[in-house]
Amino acid sequence: MLTVDKTRPVGPAGRISRVETLTLGTAWRDFSYVRVHTDAGLTGVGEITHPYRARETCQLAEAMAGRHLIGADPFDVEEIWLRMYQGDFLRGGDVGGIVVSGVDQALYDLMGKALGVPAYRLTGGACRDRVRVYANGWYTGDREPAAFAERARATVAKGYTALKFDPFGAGLGELSRAELRRSIDIVAAVRAAVGPEIELYVEGHARFAMHTAARLVRELEPFDLGWFEEPLPWTHIERYAELRARATMPISGGEHFHNRYEYARLFATDAVDIIQPDLSMAGGFTEVRKLAAIADQHAMVVAPHNSNSPLCTTASVHAVLGMPNFKILETFDGLLEDYVFDAVRGALPVVDGHIDLPTAPGLGIELVDEVFAEHPPSHGFWNMFAEGWEKRDRR
């Protein structure tokens, strides 16, 4: 099972013949992709973006091609997933998890194209007519209550009915009294600016000590949050349930985990109310469907993390359409330059805070090489625990 069997009858997509990677530079981060070709003339694409390790994910994807992909039938998704994970001795971690995820997306793209149907038809069909999304990245700029409020109003004016933001600056472990008040004042200003009908989600970026997180759930209670995301480091996963018992708002998390094995302790400890797997980190379509099913067993809902490009946004729409316990999808698409959408031609647009049902075969996206050539990667870095990180100035 852990080797490519070229004697097995092949499906309508043919066999994988070539794998390549591309990286696009933007002001915020570099976006990386894998493109998988078959001998039937089909091409499938997936996202392998890592915020800081573009070279590593691309190198691993190209290396895995020779070990596990060339000659394989794209329809054998479960076997290919296992071959990459087990055969490459992946034991968790972001680079390997991202590569497996992106390749899996490309396989579903290939299958959809071979059959002439959108990818979501292969992952449970549709439970809904459109997908609700929330905006992130909208608060880039000065960390002041009035500035946050102004940008929140502008984002809601675009049709979004839900916003997520991190008001905590460079806080790590604890917050000084002044920084605590400033953070809470920012949340209060945003709530006052958008009114009671807009859902607000507050991001903790997995960085507070237990006593600080417990103080924050009390301070944030008046603002009727849709969730408080990852208030504690995952090194202290056993304390999440204790924090949930103190909180009046839902607790969410899970973007840091890359497959069901890493998620096992989260489920075993009932750490969160809402899981947030990322389609480009948590194993692609093949694995995220399983995570959603396990979450349903635990009375949890799914709100996928998606801090990547419009390709991952589009692929995530396909993934969640057939997910009964789906809640809402993240998007940073409003933060990006226009040329990003030229580079990933066919990405689904956000209209009035929603994305409509896809109609094109596969994912419906083609990568445009000329745009990639015009915008090479910068391999920059911004430190989320440095003062002023929310301005997203890369170095």
Six-digit token string for 26: 């933007």
- State residue 198's pLDDT score: 98
Share of the chain above pLDDT 90, in %: 89
- The answer to whether 346 and 149 have CB atoms below 8 angstroms apart is no
pLDDT average, residue stretch 290-305: 98
CA angle 160, 162, 167 (to 5 degrees): 120
Q: What tens digit of pLDDT does each residue of 71-105 get? A: 999 999 999 999 999 999 888 789 999 999 999 99
Confidence grade of residue 350 (pLDDT, cut at 50, 70, 90): very high
pTM of the model: 0.95
DSSP sequence for 155-170: HHHTT-SEEEE---TT
Whether the predicted pLDDT of 258 surpasses 60: yes
Share of the chain above pLDDT 70, in %: 97
Confidence grade of residue 322 (pLDDT, cut at 50, 70, 90): very high
DSSP sequence for 246-277: H-SS-EEE-TT--SHHHHHHHHHTT--SEE--
- State residue 389's pLDDT score: 66
Residue 50 known to be catalytic: no
Whether the predicted pLDDT of 381 surpasses 80: no
pLDDT average, residue stretch 351-367: 97
Q: Which residue has the higher pLDDT, 6 or 124?
A: 124
Determine the residue type at 32. Answer: S
Residue 205 known to be catalytic: yes
Whether the predicted pLDDT of 312 surpasses 70: yes
Confidence grade of residue 1 (pLDDT, cut at 50, 70, 90): low
The active-site residue out of 205, 236, 298, 354 is 205
Distances (CA, A) of 132 to 160, 195, 290, 314, 345: 9, 19, 21, 12, 22
Whether the predicted pLDDT of 3 surpasses 80: no
Whether the predicted pLDDT of 202 surpasses 90: yes
Residue 178, number of CB atoms within 10 A of its CB: 8
How large is the greatest C-alpha to C-alpha distance in the chain, in angstroms? 68
- State residue 392's pLDDT score: 64
Sheet with 31-38, strands from edge to edge, namely: 16-24, 31-38, 43-47
Q: What tens digit of pLDDT does each residue of 120-174 get? A: 999 999 999 999 999 999 998 899 999 999 999 999 999 999 999 999 998 899 9
- The answer to whether 297 and 264 have CB atoms below 8 angstroms apart is no
Six-digit token string for 348: 């689904």
Whether the predicted pLDDT of 394 surpasses 60: no
Long-range contacts of 178-187 (CB under 8 A, 24+ apart): 180/215, 180/216, 180/219, 182/143, 182/145, 184/219, 184/220, 185/145, 186/143, 186/144, 186/145, 186/148, 187/220, 187/223
Query: Residue 199 is inside which H or E element, if any?
Result: strand 199-203
Which segment of 110-124, 327-341, 374-388 scores lowest on mean pLDDT? 374-388
Whether the predicted pLDDT of 393 surpasses 80: no
- State residue 383's pLDDT score: 76
Whether the predicted pLDDT of 386 surpasses 80: no
CA distance 201 to 337: 25
- The answer to whether 275 and 254 have CB atoms below 8 angstroms apart is yes
Q: What tens digit of pLDDT does each residue of 40-71 get? A: 999 999 999 998 999 999 999 999 999 999 99
Residue 176, number of CB atoms within 10 A of its CB: 9
- State residue 176's pLDDT score: 96
CA distance 361 to 149: 41
The active-site residue out of 50, 68, 258, 305 is 305
What is the C-alpha end-to-end distance of the chain, expressed in Å? Answer: 45
Confidence grade of residue 111 (pLDDT, cut at 50, 70, 90): very high
